[in-house]
Every structure is written in structure tokens, then in C-alpha cells.
Amino acid sequence: MSDDTHKNAGDSAASSAPSESNPDISVRPARDADVPGLLRLWDACGLIRPWNHAPTDIAFARRGPNSDVLVAEQGGALLAALIVGHDGHRGTVYYVSADPAHRGEGLGRLIMDAAEAWLVARGIWKLNLLVRKSNLGVIGFYKSIGYGEDETVALSKPLRPMPHVDPEAVE
Ligand SMILES: CC(C)(COP(=O)(O)OP(=O)(O)OC[C@H]1O[C@@H](n2cnc3c(N)ncnc32)[C@H](O)[C@@H]1OP(=O)(O)O)[C@@H](O)C(=O)NCCC(=O)NCCS
């Protein structure tokens, strides 16, 4: 069975919905055939890190019911994408990306709107996201679409070796 059939049936929050501002752009869950384009987009956006294995991240996000990869596509070209998911309490997003050739055209807002709708459709009422200190310039984008800074410090702890990753490259 193709991974394309694993879920998303009846997913009205992000099922090939055309963008209101540009009806030629569809926002939908990623398919198997999107993976090479996703990797190209994330590479062009500077989001590929040696300590994360993006193909594994895509497969993992698409596997379960509480996460997915959403894409905005026009004529077969991936213009924006992200991973969205929730942990039963809060929602989050990763790999938020818009084609560098089309920045400032509303693609980032479009794909974030789709992520928010995906979460709301699953009963989630708040989205937390992380921004790397090396990428603080992007905070203006998030503020423009309604996000505020919390008085929190993000902590993390690896729980097991990451799959398919060179341990020498792990941060
Ligand atoms: C962040 C990103 C997705 C924004 O995509 P985009 O398509 O250019 O964003 P939009 O056109 O939808 O912009 C939405 C609003 O944010 C503003 N905005 C976008 N990027 C901004 C920035 N770097 N600084 C300040 N404001 C910004 C826009 O002016 C617009 O404001 P408006 O609605 O008031 O006019 C894109 O720049 C990107 O892919 N960056 C590289 C990857 C990245 O850093 N991802 C985030 C990881 S945390």
C-alpha cells in the first residue's frame, strides 16, 4: 500500500483547498511524489540540518494520525510547506517554508493558515512554535500573522539515537 493512502480521508482542513487569494494554488497533505520537491524546497530555504534527516522527518510526520506534512502547490510546483502536529495538548509546526522566488506573496501565511485549520479541526486551541536563535529575523513574519513571544525557555533532551543520522553530526 502506498503511503499516500495511509490517512487524510475526509480531512477537510487541508484537502486540496484552493487558496482564496490565488485559486490556482492548492493546499493539501503531501503525497509520496512530493518528497523530492519537499527536500529541494527545504534545502533552498536553509532548513536542512545534518543532525535531522528530512526524509525520515517527512515519513514520521505522515505516518500517524496526529501529524502531517502540508504543501501549497501550483501546477505541480511546491511553493510552500510545513510539518504540523499536536501532542494531545498543543499544536506545533516545523520546516515552515516558502519558495525563495516567491517571498512576500502570502505563501507563508497561506501554509500557516492551513496548519492552524488542521489543528483546529482536531480540537487543538493553541499553537506553540520554536525559532532558532540563528533565525530571529523570521520573528517579524510570525508577528505579522498573529504570533507573540511567550515568557518561556525551550528545553530538550534526546530520548534515543536518531534514526538514520550520523552521530558525529548531532548537535
Ligand atoms: C518565513 C517564510 C515562510 C515567510 O514566507 P513568505 O511567503 O515570504 O511570507 P508572507 O508573504 O506570507 O508574509 C506574511 C506577512 O509576514 C511579513 N513577513 C514575511 N517575512 C518577514 C520577515 N522576514 N520579517 C518581517 N516580516 C515578514 C510579510 O511582510 C507579511 O506581512 P503583511 O501580511 O503585514 O503584509 C519564508 O521567509 C521562509 O521560507 N523563510 C526561510 C525558512 C524559515 O526561516 N522558516 C521559519 C523557520 S522557524
Q: Which residue would you say has higher pLDDT here, 142 or 170? A: 142
Residue 22 has pLDDT above 90, yes or no: no
Residue 2 has pLDDT above 70, yes or no: no
Strands of the sheet with 26-29, listed across from one edge: 17-18, 26-29, 67-74, 77-86, 91-98
Helix H or strand E segment including 56: helix 54-63
What residues are paired with 98 via a beta bridge?
A: 80
Tell me the whole-structure pTM to 2 decimals: 0.91
Q: What average pLDDT does range 3-21 have in this prediction?
A: 56
Q: Copy the grid coordinates of residue 119.
A: 489543528
Question: 26 with 72: CB under 8 angstroms?
Answer: yes
Query: What's the CATH superfamily of 3-169?
Result: Gcn5-related N-acetyltransferase (GNAT) (3.40.630.30)
In this predicted model, what pLDDT tens digit does every residue of 114-159 receive, in sequence order? 999 999 999 999 999 999 999 999 999 999 999 999 999 999 999 9
Q: Is 108 near ligand 1, meaning CB less than 6 Å away? A: yes
Q: Which of the listed residues 141, 142, 144, 147 should we mutate to test ligand 1's pocket, taking the one with most ligand atoms within 8 A of CB?
A: 141
Residue 9 has pLDDT above 80, yes or no: no
Q: Is 58 near ligand 1, meaning CB less than 6 Å away? A: no
Average per-residue pLDDT for the chain: 89
Q: What one-character-per-residue DSSP string does 71-120 give?
A: EEEETTEEEEEEEEEE-SS-EEEEEEEE-GGGTTSSHHHHHHHHHHHHHH
Between the alpha carbon of residue 119 and those of residues 21, 92, 131, the distances in Å are 22, 9, 19
Q: What average pLDDT does range 55-76 have in this prediction?
A: 96
